[in-house]
């Protein structure tokens, strides 16, 4: 029996439940693609896939709208795969296990994948129904939105005929989005020297845990802790008082998620052990006081561990710690045109110690102003290059410039007000959406983005509001009826 039994709309929850059973990490969408193909065949619908792996399923109009031009509904197939450190979930093989609690749906220790599984479910519910009035539909499902926007970059210019598109990847019901930030990643490679550990030293595993994490665009202005910055600050604090050397420093996972956890293996002198424990206790209080109610569960813990064979040479270590300390993180500038909108930000996303004395660091920059995006990318470049690192930028993706004269926006405002008696909020979002890239492929495309309320996106705290799914569904059907 599904945990979604009794929830409305029945068809949406049916397909969402099926989607949760299918592993769909970014760049590994073959299983969900197979599912979509079988769905189209079952319902005798046209199925097409472009060279990039994007899928479109087409359906003739139903009711009075049958002869109108097609409208495009769009979501992405992949999901962010984040889990708690104690979870044994295998995102490549296991189903997501949903829980319904207090009006929300969440998963057991992992991301839920409502981003953007619930958008997919709404598309499939409309395609499967014979009782919903709508114009001809082109339901577009893109690949690899979360780690590279690969599907949007490679979208065939011949795949779509419709020139009105509703993106179903927003995360606040009652809001209509008409713009988003552009982004670019800055990837750093540092080479370091190492030395054999002193046999008279002792080793500890240092862990930073309990942070909320979240979406590096949508949550970047909420003052949440960055595990990498916290651990780095702690190590610098220790070095002001006693000798310490790093053997391993790992933190974060995905470029578009605020890092929740980080750990380091460090060595100290036996004689400094008591003082080290004291420094940990003091710093734990310091970081909790600093973050307050924003991060009530943050913790720094240490466990004595087996002495590693090697550790970083001190000069290499200082360059690494100085670089991370100087690297900007968080909101850089707020928009002067749209209240409460972050204009420019940067996220120190991950650090990994790899083989062959290589450290890989990934940062992500976003801005709705192209020159500001390039500016913060250059700041990050300078911080690390001055410490001898190799720094490279990805190609990035464009923003989506708001169009307040959009016909689809005006229709959406009327439909929402007819349904609920109030106008929806019209916004731009600091997170990246695929719409900016769609405009490059189809310059005359009229677009809006809507979706139900999802909190904790890109973290194991991801949760989907049940009531908002029904309201978003009703809103979408009203637009399709009147478009």
Structural domains of the chain, ranges and CATH numbers in brackets = 10-181+400-482 (3.40.630.10), 185-393 (3.30.70.360)
Contact assessment for residue 54 and residue 142, using Cβ atoms and an 8 Å cutoff: yes
| Confidence band of 204 (pLDDT split at 50, 70, 90) | very high
Q: Kindly tell me if the per-residue pLDDT of 379 is higher than 90.
A: yes
Give me the catalytic one of 145, 169, 372, 462. Answer: 145
Contacts of 158 (CB under 8 A, 6+ apart): none
- The single residue listed with the structure tokens 């813990």 is 301
Within 10 angstroms of residue 80's Cβ, the number of other Cβ atoms is 24
Phi, psi (deg, nearest 5) at residue 79: -135, 155
First to last CA, the chain: 37
Q: Kindly tell me if the per-residue pLDDT of 311 is higher than 80.
A: yes
What are the CA-CA distances from residue 81 to residues 23, 211, 256, 462 (Å)?
10, 17, 11, 11
The rounded percent of the chain whose pLDDT value lies above 90 is 89
Give me the catalytic one of 78, 146, 219, 434. Answer: 78
| Confidence band of 348 (pLDDT split at 50, 70, 90) | very high
Q: Kindly tell me if the per-residue pLDDT of 241 is higher than 70.
A: yes
Q: Is 78 in the active site? A: yes
| Confidence band of 231 (pLDDT split at 50, 70, 90) | very high
**Which pTM value belongs to this model?**
0.80
Predicted pLDDT of residue 67 = 67
Q: Is 115 in the active site? A: no
The span from the CA of 188 to the CA of 365, in Å, is 13
Contacts of 479 (CB under 8 A, 6+ apart): 166, 408, 411, 412, 415
Interval 37-95: pLDDT, tens: 999 999 999 999 999 999 999 999 998 766 678 999 999 999 999 998 889 999 999 99
Mean pLDDT of 365-393: 95
Predicted pLDDT of residue 336 = 86
Q: Where are the alpha helices (DSSP H) in 21-78?
A: 30-42
Within 10 angstroms of residue 169's Cβ, the number of other Cβ atoms is 25
Interval 424-453: pLDDT, tens: 999 998 988 899 999 999 999 999 999 999
The span from the CA of 215 to the CA of 172, in Å, is 14
Predicted pLDDT of residue 1 = 60
What burial letters (b/e) apply to 207-227, b meaning 16+ CB within 10 Å? Answer: bbbbbbbbbbbbbbeeebbbb
Strands (E), 181-312: 182-191, 194-196, 201-209, 245-251, 262-269, 299-305, 310-312
What is the average pLDDT value for the chain, to the nearest integer?
95
């Amino acid at each position: 029996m599904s945990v979604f039994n009794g929830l409305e709309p029945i068809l949406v929850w049916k397909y969402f439940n099926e989607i949760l059973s299918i592993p769909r990490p970014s760049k590994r969408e073959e299983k969900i693609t197979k599912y979509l193909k079988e769905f189209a065949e079952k319902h005798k619908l046209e199925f097409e896939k472009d060279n990039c792996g994007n899928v479109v399923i087409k359906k003739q109009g139903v009711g009075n709208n049958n002869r109108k031009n097609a409208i495009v509904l769009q979501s992405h197939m992949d999901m962010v795969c984040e889990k708690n450190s104690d979870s044994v979930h295998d995102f490549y093989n296991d189903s997501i296990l949903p829980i319904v609690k207090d009006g929300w749906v969440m998963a057991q220790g992992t991301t839920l994948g409502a981003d953007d599984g619930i958008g997919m479910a709404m598309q499939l519910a409309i395609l499967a129904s014979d009782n919903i009035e709508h114009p001809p539909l082109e339901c577009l499902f893109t690949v690899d939105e979360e780690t590279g926007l690969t599907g949007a970059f490679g979208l065939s210019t011949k795949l779509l005929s419709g020139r009105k598109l509703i993106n179903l990847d927003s995360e606040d019901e009652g809001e209509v989005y008409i713009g988003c930030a552009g982004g670019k990643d800055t990837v750093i490679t540092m080479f370091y020297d190492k030395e054999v550990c002193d046999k008279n030293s002792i080793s500890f595993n240092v862990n930073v845990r309990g942070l909320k994490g979240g979406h590096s665009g949508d949550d970047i202005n909420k003052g949440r802790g960055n595990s990498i910055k916290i651990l780095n600050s702690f190590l610098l604090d220790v070095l002001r008082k006693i000798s310490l050397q790093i053997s391993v420093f790992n933190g974060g996972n995905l470029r578009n998620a605020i890092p929740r956890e980080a750990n380091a293996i460090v060595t100290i002198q036996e004689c400094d052990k008591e003082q080290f424990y004291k420094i940990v206790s003091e710093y734990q209080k310091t970081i909790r006081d600093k973050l307050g109610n924003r991060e009530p569960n943050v913790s720094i813990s240490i466990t004595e561990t087996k002495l590693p064979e090697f550790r970083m040479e001190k000069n290499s270590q200082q360059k690494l710690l100085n670089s991370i300390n100087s690297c900007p993180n968080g909101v850089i500038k707020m928009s002067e045109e749209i209240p409460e909108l972050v204009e420019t930000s940067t996220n120190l996303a991950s650090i990994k110690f790899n083989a062959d004395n290589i450290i890989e660091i990934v940062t992500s920059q976003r801005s709705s102003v192209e020159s500001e995006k390039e500016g913060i990318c250059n700041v990050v470049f300078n911080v690390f290059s001055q410490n001898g690192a190799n720094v490279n930028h990805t190609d990035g993706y464009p923003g989506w410039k708001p169009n307040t004269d959009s016909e689809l926006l005006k229709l959406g405002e009327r439909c929402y007000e007819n349904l609920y008696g109030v106008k929806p909020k019209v916004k731009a979002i600091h997170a990246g959406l695929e719409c900016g890239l769609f405009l490059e492929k189809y310059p005359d495309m009229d677009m809006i983005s809507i979706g139900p309320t999802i909190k904790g996106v890109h973290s194991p705290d991801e949760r989907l509001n049940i009531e908002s799914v029904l309201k978003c569904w009703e809103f979408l059907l009203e637009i399709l009826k009147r478009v």
